[in-house]
Amino acid sequence: MRASPDPAGQPPVAPGQAAERGEHWWPVAAAVTAAALLHVALPTTYRLDPVWVVPVVMFTLLVTLIVGDPGRIDRQKVWLRVVTETMIAFVTGSNLYAGVHLVSDILTNNKLFANNATGLLATGGVTWATNVIAFALWYWDLDRGGAAARAHRPFTAPAFVFPEMQHTSHAPAGWVPRFVDYLSLSFWTATAFSPTDVSAIKPWAKLLMIVEAATSLIVATLVIARAINILQ
């Protein structure tokens, strides 16, 4: 019987090629490390106490993932997915804690930044940047079943369509998005408040981008407006 063609019109990946197509850990490790350090840089009232909790938890989960799937990301294990999503949820939750406190303080005219527009802008910037990292991690983990799944089945139905997937003459054969591509998607969603060169084609992906854009818009608007009010 003749095998049915791949939905995307691409040839299947041979088992021996899966590890070669897997991503390196260092971009994700750098993003998680940056998120941990950014949280530590927040004012005391906006971060989880004690101060070492967030870095220790994030680094422990990250090291567990790297040890469990050394080299390139290509091992498909349920427990690895659970640890990955726990780590991302912790990054998201710790930043949500900071964001909620920041918005609450702005709306209630808290005196913490009453005469410190620079401190307010810096805190808002840290929260915004961490939000970009958190959503980049979610996009990276959820699209096509995660990085390990993409290493073995790179051409399964995607949630996001990148330019390289449409303009194949300008991309290497068998191009697959890596973490930096999802980070770029997250950055432009948070900056332009709309899709840019990447199209979300699955409902959950569209909703996730809406949440990120709305969150960034609220934080940016409130922080900038409050800072201008302080400077006047």
Separation between Cα atoms, residue 10 and residue 186, nearest integer Å: 27
Mean pLDDT on 22-51: 94
Separation between Cα atoms, residue 34 and residue 28, nearest integer Å: 10
Q: How confident is the model at residue 8 (pLDDT cuts 50, 70, 90)?
A: very low
Mean pLDDT on 113-120: 82
Convert the pLDDT of each residue in 165-185 to its tens digit.
888 888 887 889 999 999 999
pLDDT score, position 3: 42
Q: How confident is the model at residue 24 (pLDDT cuts 50, 70, 90)?
A: very high
| pLDDT of 205 higher than 50 | yes
Separation between Cα atoms, residue 173 and residue 57, nearest integer Å: 38
Q: What is the 3-state secondary structure (H, E, C) of the chain?
A: CCCCCCCCCCCCCCHHHHHHHCEECHHHHHHHHHHHHHHHCCCHHHCCCCCCHHHHHHHHHHHHHHHHCCCEECCCCHHHHHHHHHHHHHHHHHHHHHHHHHHHHHHCCCHHHCCCHHHHHHHHHHHHHHHHHHHHHHHHHHHHHCHHHHHHCCCCCCCEECHHHHCHHHCCCCCCCCHHHHHHHHHHHHHHCCCCCCEECCHHHHHHHHHHHHHHHHHHHHHHHHHHHHHC
Q: How confident is the model at residue 14 (pLDDT cuts 50, 70, 90)?
A: very low
Q: How confident is the model at residue 20 (pLDDT cuts 50, 70, 90)?
A: low
Mean pLDDT on 87-97: 97
Q: How confident is the model at residue 21 (pLDDT cuts 50, 70, 90)?
A: low
Q: How confident is the model at residue 1 (pLDDT cuts 50, 70, 90)?
A: very low
Total residue count of the chain as it appears in this document: 232
